């Protein structure tokens, strides 16, 4: 007995030594270096596809948008796989290795002349385009980077495991502040990617420009594995996706069963020590999935015979939030226009001084700076100042911040349309209609206002969405809550690709110049931006309808109850 007691104490001592703050630098270094490497590939990728692979603007743009969509979709699937099968440690480990392989092969495409089409011959009338094997290698690189990024996205939840913290903080203010500063840290990594990596690509070529991200990804993987024995590695558990399927299957199987009397407490199956004794009345048809038909015998049988109240309420929370979530798709469309913004910047004067000019791919840094400043000022200036002026705690609800973000996204499209209209008219006046490579005598600094508007909109919308999902979903769905914003961005990338395809096909009919043709001076990107502005305005109206239909969120209900209690206390101090 004494020996067993000693072994238990030793095991407990080993468990205590795992995790903690000592693991944080390695997890953070893994994610930060991975973000720095992957984001650094995006801005100039269209130039690589157009110049080295001989692809047109539309085709290259669609490839990039599909790549971005896959990159934003992968965290959702990675969250399911990590929770149900792999565990977060293995998901991050595999993700890091796959990302490193993808970036290494991408670097090799720049190093090997055979991996790309041959240089254009001066005597030939037409350049050779990329062959099928060459395109297959390129697309496999992008796929590996996307899949790997999904696994690395589990780092946030994995870091919480090391500190033994729940993914959903109880204090709403702590949650709000945490998400704000988390986004700030992510934005700082992106800023370095959009400046340092882009500068290397512009001035030293693709060999070094792709080699540096591959090296960074190698160090990212190395840092993560460096203290592997010290990590707390939670075992995988049942996937929420499986639980959702069970609820739908059992509810359909029990569709002919009559509902029990209202407020029945012993007719529904629930987890032990659960505070839920009956499901809510919303989406009532799903309640039949947790009804007990044959007493205790059925509860101990297959899971596909009866579900718990908790499973039913998790699915209800997901279904209820889908309409509001869908309003974020236009934010994804807004952030997907980087390829067109780069073409605009290349045609404008980017000089800050006579000896220095901003790389065209680095203008996105102003978006990230706007995100950092907006999130920081809101959290550390606006909220404390407003609370001091009002004499009580002040905050803007998550749903309102989502709406504010959508409004600034609309302003971003309007500003983009106006600037492009001015740029195009100047190109036509100066006779550059057939010379899209010409640099106009108009400052590229005119692009900064729309970048700032885009960053402000992204900050408000991203923080609002993340906080809203974490507040509305139960703790068991925290991994889904943290990935929903990325999912909206992914769908936005797909929608943006569809919009570009439709606009190109419709506007080029009858031999006309497409609004999004390769020749940016002949094209009508200003009309394209006005179209997106109109769609964004319609999306804002759609958001108001969805917000009204959703009703008060948990945060708003809590604030209302707190205000009511304060008023009641003031009226009746006894």
User: What is the C-alpha to C-alpha distance for residues 141 and 63, in angstroms, rounded to an integer?
Assistant: 12
The mean per-residue pLDDT over the stretch 32-43 comes to 85
**Of 409 and 389, the one with more pLDDT:** 409
What pLDDT shows up at residue 558?
Answer: 59
Q: How many other β-carbons are positioned within 10 Å of the β-carbon of residue 190?
A: 22
Of residues 269 and 249, more confidently modeled? 249
- The predicted pLDDT at position 116 comes to 86
Write down how long the chain is. 574
Q: Name the token pair of 197.
A: 């990596």
Check residue 168 and give its pLDDT: 42
Per-residue pLDDT, averaged over 495-504, amounts to 90
Res 559: pLDDT: 56
Q: pLDDT of 535-571, one tens digit each?
A: 999 999 999 999 998 887 766 655 555 555 554 455 5
Identify any residues that bridge with 268 across adjacent strands, giving them in sequence order: 291
Q: Which residue has the higher pLDDT, 365 or 529?
A: 529
Does residue 353 surpass a pLDDT of 70?
A: yes
Which of 52-61, 219-228, 381-390 has the least mean pLDDT?
381-390
Greater pLDDT, 141 or 26 = 141
**Which pLDDT score is estimated for 409?**
93
pLDDT tens for 75-128 read 888 877 887 788 888 989 999 999 999 999 999 999 988 888 887 765 555 677
CA distance 223 to 246: 40
pLDDT at 530: 96
Residue from 159, 235, 192, 263 nearest 34 by CA: 192
Structure tokens at 456: 């402000």
How far is residue 207's CA from residue 82's CA, in Å, rounded to a whole number? 35
The tens digit of pLDDT for each residue in 167-226 reads 344 444 444 555 556 666 777 787 888 788 888 988 888 999 999 999 999 998 998 888
- What is the helix (H) or strand (E) element at residue 4, kind and residue range? helix 2-17
Does residue 519 surpass a pLDDT of 70?
A: yes
Q: Which domains does the chain have, with CATH numbers?
A: 17-119+130-237 (1.20.1250.20), 240-259+267-294+303-307 (no CATH), 321-562 (1.20.1250.20)
Q: Examine the pLDDT at 14 and tell me if it is beyond 50.
A: no
Of 370, 455, 516, nearest to 59 by C-alpha is 516
Q: Where are the alpha helices (DSSP H) in 508-553?
A: 525-550
pLDDT at 417: 94
The pLDDT of residue 567: 47
Q: What is the mean pLDDT of the chain?
A: 80
CB contact set of 506 (below 8 Å; sequence gap of 6+): none
Q: What is the DSSP letter of 128?
A: P
pLDDT > 60? residue 447: yes
Q: Which letter does DSSP use for residue 97 in this model? A: H
pLDDT of residue 294: 62
Question: Which phi and psi (to 5°) does residue 382 adopt?
Answer: -65, -50
Largest CA distance in the chain: 96
pLDDT tens digits, residue range 127-139? 777 888 999 999 9
Query: Alpha carbon of 177 to those of 1, 11, 205, 464: distances in Å?
Result: 49, 36, 41, 11
Query: Quick one: pLDDT at residue 537?
Result: 96
pLDDT above 60 for 504: yes
Report the pLDDT value the prediction gives residue 140, as an integer from 0 to 100: 94
Q: Cα separation of 291 and 258, whole Å? A: 10
Residue 454: its H or E element: helix 448-472
Q: Higher pLDDT residue, 319 or 485?
A: 319
pLDDT tens-digit series, residues 64-77: 888 988 888 888 88
- Look at 15-24, 101-110, 488-497, 538-547 and tell me which has the smallest mean pLDDT: 15-24
């Amino acid at each position: 007995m004494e020996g067993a007691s000693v072994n238990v104490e030793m095991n407990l001592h080993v468990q205590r030594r795992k995790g903690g703050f000592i693991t944080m630098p390695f997890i953070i270094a893994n994610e930060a270096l991975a973000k720095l490497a992957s984001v650094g590939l995006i801005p100039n990728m269209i130039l690589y596809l157009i110049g080295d692979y001989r692809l047109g603007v539309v085709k290259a743009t669609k490839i990039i948008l599909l790549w971005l969509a896959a990159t934003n979709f992968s965290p959702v699937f990675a969250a399911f796989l990590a929770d149900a099968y792999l565990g977060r440690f293995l998901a991050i480990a595999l993700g890091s290795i796959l990302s490193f392989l993808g970036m290494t092969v991408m670097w090799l495409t720049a190093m090997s002349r055979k991996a790309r089409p041959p240089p254009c011959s001066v005597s030939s009338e037409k350049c050779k385009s990329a062959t099928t094997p060459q395109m297959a290698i390129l697309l496999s690189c992008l796929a590996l980077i996307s899949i790997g990024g999904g696994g690395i996205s589990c780092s946030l939840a994995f870091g919480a495991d090391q500190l033994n913290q729940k993914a959903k903080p109880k204090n709403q203010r702590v949650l709000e502040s945490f998400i704000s500063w988390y986004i700030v840290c992510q934005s700082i990594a992106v800023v370095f990617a959009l400046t340092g990596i882009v500068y290397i690509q512009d001035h030293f070529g693709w060999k070094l420009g792709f080699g540096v991200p591959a090296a960074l990804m190698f160090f990212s993987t190395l840092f993560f594995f460096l203290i592997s024995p010290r990590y707390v590695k939670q075992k995988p558990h049942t996937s929420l996706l499986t639980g959702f399927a069970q609820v739908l299957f059992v509810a359909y199987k029990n569709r002919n069963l009559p509902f029990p009397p209202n407020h029945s407490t012993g007719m529904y199956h629930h987890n032990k020590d659960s505070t839920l004794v009956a499901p809510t009345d919303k989406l009532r048809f799903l309640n039949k999935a947790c009804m007990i038909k044959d007493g205790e015998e059925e509860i101990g049988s297959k899971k596909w015979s009866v579900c718990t109240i908790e499973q039913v309420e998790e699915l209800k929370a997901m279904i209820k939030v889908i309409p509001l979530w869908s309003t974020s798709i236009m934010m994804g469309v807004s952030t997907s226009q980087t390829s067109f913004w780069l073409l605009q910047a290349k045609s404008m004067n980017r000089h800050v001084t006579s000896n220095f000019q901003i790389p065209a791919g680095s203008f996105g840094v102003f978006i990230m700076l706007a995100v950092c400043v907006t999130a920081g000022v809101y959290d550390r200036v606006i909220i404390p100042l407003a609370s001091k002026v009002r004499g009580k705690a002040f905050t803007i609800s998550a749903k309102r911040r989502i709406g504010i973000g959508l409004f600034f996204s609309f302003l971003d499209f309007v500003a983009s349309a106006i600037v492009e209209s001015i740029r195009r008219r100047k190109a036509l006046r100066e006779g550059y209609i057939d010379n899209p490579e010409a640099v106009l005598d108009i400052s590229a600094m005119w692009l900064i206002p729309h970048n700032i508007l885009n960053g402000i909109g992204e900050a408000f919308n991203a923080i609002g969405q993340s906080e809203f999902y974490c507040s509305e979903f139960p703790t068991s769905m925290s991994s889904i809550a943290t990935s929903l914003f990325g999912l909206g961005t992914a769908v936005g990338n797909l929608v943006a690709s569809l919009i570009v395809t439709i606009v190109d096909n419709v506007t080029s009919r009858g031999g006309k110049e497409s609004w999004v043709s390769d020749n940016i001076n002949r094209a009508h990107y200003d009309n394209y931006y006005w179209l997106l502005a109109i769609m964004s305005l319609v999306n804002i109206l759609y958001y108001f309808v969805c917000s009204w239909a959703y009703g008060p969120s948990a945060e708003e209900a809590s604030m209302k109850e707190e205000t009511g209690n304060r008023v009641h206390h003031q009226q009746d101090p006894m």
